[in-house]
Amino acid sequence: MRLLIDSLIPKAEACFAELGSITRRPGREIDAQAVRDAGAEVLVVRSITRVDEALLEDSRLRFVGTCTIGTDHIDQAALEARGIGFANAPGCNAEAVVDYVLSSLLTLAEREGTELDQRRIGIVGAGNVGGRLYRRLTALGLDCRVCDPPRAEREADLEADEPRLPFDDLDTLIETCDVLCLHTPLVREGEHRTHHLLDEARIAALEPGTWLLNAGRGDCLDGQALLARLAARSDLRTVLDVFEDEPAIDEALWRLADIATPHIAGHSLDGKLRGTHQVYRAAMKHFGLPVRVAFEDLAPAPALPNLTLDAGLAPWEALRLCVRACYDVRRDHDGLIRYQREQGLTAGFDAYRSEYPLRREFSTLEVRLRPAAASLEPLLAAAGFTVEVEG
């Protein structure tokens, strides 16, 4: 069997080699000709490769996998019509995105001279990412509301004593929350359409001082409307990891964002390996073969396995220190600026993603607390770290 796999998917050989010979290509170079030239029966991609009728034409494909949560780059109907198996990797990088959000919000809080427990946070989209974000933020004691109409409809029939999220409509979130985090999939048609969900009217309705974070899909936010608002009144704080028309993003909007990164919120090594392994397991199931490689076989030991805290730090400062020890969003903001200077924004956007530095998730870091710092345990554990109190 022949396989064509995006060159940036880690540990592909460790997982897929037993299926046959592997050809690696950069994601943006995987097209119909590349698939035919490779004689590929298995194709494994990321979000930058569009899998549609044109790519499938005259191919020998029997299975397609995308090592991503999202599937809007995959024409699943075309795959089904041709009898081609398909799998994505739901939830693979959700923890990494939540890490990204927490790092970003703590950075904004520091810049604004406040702390997160003084803000009400609205989460738009409560799927794999938004649901985890809600659980982690509420565990930290933060006031959160959620907008997810499809999920609210599904949970409407729950018994009164069953747990449910505090759902509001989007306009209520805009009116009552001073932080807005977007984590919706891109849906272009239908009752729950999310394309330009945050449109000109809703962007205009954001209260001055609102923090707006988008780590979902770039097209869910009207970039031109946000640009007009920021250019006219610099009264919002913005964190943008996704943009319309990637990688050819709007440079004017990029320059006005407080934190701007090149679609890397979920780019932890752990999340990438989870995506590889999920698609590997689906492929083996599709071909009726046993799964021989365990996820634990793929992940290396973290470079920073632990750190120790003693008394002397306020709780939110201690949290900020641990977060930055593991992942500091400012590195990626500054990295994109550097790549833009060297290569231009469009090429730099792609190059930074391709050369992305090693990043591990919060759960890989053990925080050891001396007895005098034991009171920090609930906060740090809620944030996702492994915590041990000494003594």
Catalytic residue ranges: 217, 246, 263
Torsion of CA 307, 312, 315, 319, to 10 degrees: -30
Q: Which residue intervals of the chain are DSSP H helices? A: 12-16, 32-38, 53-56, 76-81, 94-112, 128-139, 149-155, 170-176, 200-205, 223-232, 251-256, 269-286, 315-326, 329-343, 345-354, 377-382
Residue ranges for the binding site?
Answer: 47, 68, 148, 184, 241, 266
d(CA 300, CA 99): 19
Residue found by looking up tokens 């320059």 in the block: 255
Residue numbers in the known binding site for substrate are 47, 68
How far apart CA 213 and CA 191 sit, in angstroms, is 24
Residue carrying the six token digits 């989007």:
170
Q: Which amino acid is at 1?
A: M
Measure the CA–CA gap between 78 and 73, rounded to whole angstroms.
Answer: 12
Strands 386-389 and 366-369: parallel
Q: How far apart are CA 245 and CA 225, in angstroms?
A: 15
Distances (CA, A) of 212 to 26, 100, 376: 32, 14, 29
Two tokens, residue 185: 């999939």
CB 284 within 8 A of CB 290: yes
**DSSP, res 68:** S
If we measure between CA atoms, which residue out of 299, 315, 319 comes closest to residue 307?
319
Q: Whole-angstrom Cα distance, residue 92 to residue 99?
A: 13
3-class state of residue 306 by DSSP: strand
Q: What is the DSSP letter of 246?
A: T
Instruction: Look at residues 59, 20, 28 and name the one whose alpha carbon lies nearest to residue 351.
Output: 28
Q: Which residues are annotated as a binding site for NAD(+)?
A: 148, 184, 241, 266
Question: SS3 for 198?
Answer: strand
